[in-house]
Structure 1
Amino acid sequence: MKILVSGAGMAGLATGMDLTATGHDVTVIERAQHLRTNGSPIDIRGEALDVAENMGILRQLQDSRVSTTDLSVFIDGAGNVIAALPVQEINDTADDIEIAREDLARILHAGLDEHTPVVFGESIRSLHDDGTGVDVVFASGKTDRFDLVVGADGMHSITRRLTFGPEGDYLEHLGFYVALTDLPSARGEAGSNPFLNWPGHMIGIARYKNEALGVLNFRHDWIDYDYHDLDVQKQILFDTFGDHHEWRVPEILDAVARDPELYFDSVSQIHMDDWAKGRVVLVGDAAHCASNLSGRGASLAILGAWRLAQALRDHPDDLDSVYEQYEVLHRPSVDKAQAFARPGGDLVMPATHEALELRNARLRDMATDIGGAE
């Protein structure tokens, strides 16, 4: 089949790699001018590790492992450690791999067949599915026809909007926002990754390899803003964190002001009854964003890409059967991952002083129990 994959994030690159390996003619497009690699390290967990081994990339993932989450601690306003992040509550198994986003993108991109192009600076303007193929008009004005279009273009998927309708029909806001900013002043610092809380807020530093990020999270009802407007996003952060001057909060906000590639978005999920319609199918966050609070988005992307490719191999002439198999195999993993996000916000951003104190006390007791057991 001649297949277009829209989006060169983790889901899109994995889909391109898997579909090419099963004999399809694949083109990957990406709206950005480069691979999207900004963001904190991500995790490969559970069944996704088995898929990574089948894809031939597990050893590379293991060799690129980082320990950002393992070194994360909660601190007070003076920078004193209160408690460590309970990694054992987050990981599925001891074999889970945390990896820098740019390393995973590099590994997946390198795994593409040499005849599988990745076209940067391109996106879909319109789709027309006539039942036998999909005519695509690109933002550049070029046109082409494909047997199948795979939307791997993230939570704000253009492919989903054009095929299934407005984003608001499928997006569930979980009540949080997240921002990540480059923090050059913290590069090269040794020690733990500290995070400061006050009710409904968390701000901290995540270091890995030679990089450092400022991480800002806060609770808030839905904010109606233009997610393409960087200045508006920065102002939201200044308004939310600007009254706090303890620890390194001003330093992180200074980094926000200078960062031309700040990441800011709602913490939301995508819920759909069906991930396919006609000759268009969705993978990754476009189909079932679980949010960063789940810690399982990259794993779902890798699993979903593999299961879609497997279904196409098993039913090469029957798309209905392809979609049925893909959803039957993959939806339990999605449901599990999305459920993990629910308690995640209460762990990292307790809503009240009382909840914050209870969390800290629980984590201190947990550390004491572990220490006593050793």
Structure 2
Amino acid sequence: MHAAQGHAEIAGGGIGGLTAAAALARRGWTVRLHEANTSIRAFGAGIYLWDNGLAVLRELGVEEMVTTGAHYGTSIQSRDGNGHLIGQVPINSSGSVRVLTVLRERLISALHHAAVESGVEIVTGSVAVAAEPEGVLRLANGTTAKADLIIAADGVGSQVRESLGLLRRRQALGQRCARLLLPRTDGDVPREIEDDYIEYMSGQRFLLYTPSSTEDLYIALVCSASDMQAMGGYLPQDEWSRSFPGIESLIRRLGPIPRWDDFEWVELSKWSSGRVAIIGDAAHAQPPYLGQGGGCAMMSALGLAHAVSESGRSIESALELWEATERPVIEHTQRFSVRVSELNDVPDDARREILGVAGRLPRIGKSRERAATTIPSGVNAPVAVGEPA
């Protein structure tokens, strides 16, 4: 058991907020988490988990809860619209990184469980609108909450962040994405690659094929924000089939689109102000091309809990130490992901050449894996690579 610490108020019940809440509570903090919605629930379909995220789940005692029934691909592939292979990276084998996919709902449920079991008080329908550096959280109902530590994990449009004037950049990247979850069936892709993770690229359109369990398939569709022919409340199947004739049968299975989200890049001048810290998409939103948004949020949240609990410093000084430790790796990941997103604007032939060269340069692969295999402060080293027996 950890010695009693202070009290924390957290705005936002997503991946970052729940991770921070559970990690702090396990270290002796009293924690109250405010979620704007009427319940804790997942937005999205599937999610990739790499070593950094898995290390956090292990630290919180819920790794098995999340990974039971998860899908382990054997490679991440890039293919063109006709299905021809451009390049691939092996995973989940000796000498390679561990990557698995699960339903986002399963991850959120496990983090929620970890928070509740650790004694976190969760208040739903509670909207945070501002914070003061002295340690005050302001709520939409006119009340305030005082704490030794305030954490804003309220998403890319964070009102708490805005109230502190920390935003350096919030840039729309000119791309939009729709995410779908549907049952896996035979024939969506050739049988020999049906268990792999596949990035299909055609012009400025992109389709990500992601098995997330034995029964579930996560599909992400990406296009230019100006490509109105590709978007709609019901997928324009003819348009997408023209771009991806090699997987037309899969596209014909895609129907209603819940929403189209803009990709954004967020950078702050600082990740904290006084006793207030900003984490997750509110601090470092990034396009999802590396599958590291969730991993970075969990890594940052756990590193924060470790810094304010174990450093023996004041809260303000501990937050500076936390940022100095975690920010370089996370910003490296952000920038690499933004550079990958720029490939959507490159003509197909040139993109094929770029990806082919990149696949032959070891430093590119190491750069891509740097954040995924960097374990946050305060946790043990990862277990062996590969699917457990």
TM-score, shorter chain, exceeding 0.5: yes
Whole-angstrom distance in 1 between the partners of 2:199 and 2:208: 4
Task: Count residues with an aligned counterpart.
Answer: 342
Contact 2:286 2:338 in 1 (8 A): no
Alignment CA distance shift 1:24-1:194 (3 Å): closer
- 1:20-78: CA deviation from partner (whole Å, max 9, x where unpaired): 111111122222333114233222234x544443333344455453235836562544x
- Structure 2 gaps, min length 5: 1-5, 362-389
In structure 2, the residue matched to 1:134 is 136
Q: CA RMSD in A?
A: 3.9
Consecutive unaligned residues in structure 1, runs of 5 or more: 226-231, 367-374
User: Residue 199 of structure 1 aligns with which residue?
Assistant: 203
SS in 2 for 1:326: helix
Question: Which residue of the other structure, out of 99, 103, 106, is the alignment partner of 2:106?
Answer: 103
Q: Check whether the contact 1:199–1:356 (CA below 8 A) recurs between aligned residues.
A: no
The aligned amino acid for 2:179 is L
- Are residues 1:310 and 2:275 paired? no
User: In the alignment, does 2:151 pair up with 1:150?
Assistant: yes
Q: Would the alpha carbon gap of residues 52 and 360 (structure 1) be closer, same or farther in structure 2, given more than 3 Å must change?
A: closer
Match of 1:335 in 2: 331
Separation of aligned partners in 1, 2:346 and 2:92 = 20
1:118 counterpart residue number: 122
After superposition, the C-alpha distances for 1:263-314 in whole angstroms (9 at most, x for unaligned) are: x322222111201113321111211123212322222112211111112113
Give the match's secondary structure for 2:71: coil
* Contact 2:173–2:265 under 8 Å retained in 1: yes
1:365 Cα shift? 9.3
Distance 2:287 2:359 in 1: 27
Q: Percent identity over the alignment?
A: 19
1:261-272 alignment runs, 5 A limit: 261-262=258-259, 264-272=260-268
SS in 2 for 1:271: strand
Structure 1 residue 337: deviation in Å? Answer: 1.2
3-state secondary structure, aligned to 2:297: helix
Q: Helix, strand or coil: the match of 1:153?
A: coil
Aligned to 2:222: 217
Amino acid at match of 1:42: Y
Aligned equivalents of 2:185, 2:35: Cα separation in 1 = 30
Equivalent in the alignment of 1:234: 232
**Counterpart selection for 1:25 from 14, 23, 30:** 30
**Are the aligned partners of 1:173 and 1:269 in contact in 2 as well (CA < 8 Å)?**
yes
Once residues 360 and 28 of structure 2 are traced to their aligned partners in structure 1, the CA distance between those partners, rounded to angstroms, is 54
Matches within 5 A, 1:1-374: 1-32=6-37, 33-46=39-52, 48-67=53-72, 70=75, 72=77, 74-77=79-82, 81-83=83-85, 86-88=88-90, 94-100=96-102, 101-114=104-117, 115-124=119-128, 126-127=129-130, 129=132, 131=134, 133-138=135-140, 141=141, 143-147=143-147, 148-164=149-165, 169-183=168-182, 186-187=184-185, 191=191, 192=194, 196-209=200-213, 210-220=215-225, 234=232, 241=239, 244=242, 247=245, 252=251, 255-256=254-255, 258-259=256-257, 261-262=258-259, 264-315=260-311, 318-345=314-341, 349=344, 351-358=346-353
Deviation at 1:325, TM superposition (A): 1.0
The amino acid across from 2:353 in the alignment is: L
Instruction: Please say if residues 131 and 160 of structure 2, whose CA atoms lie closer than 8 Å, have aligned partners that are also in contact.
Output: no
Could you state the TM-score of these two structures normalised by the residue count of structure 1?
0.76
How far is 1:329 from its partner?
1.0
Deviates more, 1:191-200 or 1:265-274: 191-200
2:376 paired residue number = none
Pair 1:359–1:83, CA change in 2 (3 A): farther
Structure 2: how far apart are the matches of 1:116 and 1:83?
48
Structure 1 pair 351–282 and aligned structure 2 pair: CA distance change class (3 A)? same
